[in-house]
């Protein structure tokens, strides 16, 4: 079989692509000023949101994910007046610390956005969700384990398994 990239080059190509994506996001973010940028400005820069949370006061939270291969999930808040009031990257230890045993799937989803991966384990009666994120330059995974009733059993950060097992091939 003929490969597009020399052996061992694929991780470097993927890393370069991710850095380009991060750079694009930073350029988009720089164009959006809180209290000034409109909903249309946000959509012009980031496109159609993956999901929109609608709050009782008329505020909306737009979700933009870079999962499964990226390391960010952006939540952009649009006030009732149609202006951007906040932009935050939620795949960060300060948000992970809010995930507690007993929380529901929708609560975690509203906090962290779309995961990179979901796996169900029938015999254990558990489901595991992973979010990919960066701790400095180190690729990590934040993993949440739910019971089959949709409640958090535990959560932890770990090194990205793709990096851990890459050398054992």
Task: Write the pLDDT tens digit of every residue in 151-163.
Answer: 999 999 999 988 8
User: What is the value of pTM for the model shown?
Assistant: 0.79
| pLDDT tens digits for range 86-123 | 999 999 999 999 999 999 999 999 999 999 999 999 99
Please, which residues have CB within 8 angstroms of residue 52's CB and are 6 or more apart in sequence?
60, 61, 62, 63
Mean local confidence (pLDDT), 66-91? 96
| Neighbouring-strand partners of residue 51 | 63
Question: What does each C-alpha distance from 129 to 2, 79, 112 come to in angstroms?
Answer: 34, 30, 11
In the prediction, which pLDDT does 89 show? 96
Across the chain, where does the E strand assignment appear? 51-54, 60-65, 73-78, 84-89, 117-121, 126-135, 138-147, 152-159
> What integer pLDDT is reported at residue 12 of this predicted model?
43
Mean pLDDT value of segment 7-23: 46
Q: What is the rounded average pLDDT for all residues in the chain?
A: 87
């Amino acid at each position: 079989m003929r490969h597009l990239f020399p052996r061992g080059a694929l991780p470097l190509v993927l890393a370069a692509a991710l850095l380009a994506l991060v750079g694009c996001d930073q350029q988009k973010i720089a164009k959006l000023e809180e209290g000034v940028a409109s909903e249309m400005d946000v959509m012009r820069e980031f496109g159609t949101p993956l999901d929109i949370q609608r709050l009782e006061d008329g505020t909306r939270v737009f979700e933009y994910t870079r999962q499964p291969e990226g390391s960010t999930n952006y939540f952009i808040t649009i006030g009732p007046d149609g202006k951007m009031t906040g932009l935050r990257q939620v795949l960060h230890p300060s948000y992970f610390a809010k995930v507690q045993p007993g929380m529901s799937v929708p609560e975690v989803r509203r906090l962290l956005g779309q995961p990179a991966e979901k796996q169900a384990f029938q015999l254990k009666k558990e489901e595991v969700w992973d979010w990919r994120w960066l701790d400095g330059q180190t690729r990590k995974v934040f993993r949440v384990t739910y019971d089959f009733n949709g409640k958090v059993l535990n959560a932890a950060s770990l090194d990205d398994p793709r990096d851990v097992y890459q050398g054992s091939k």
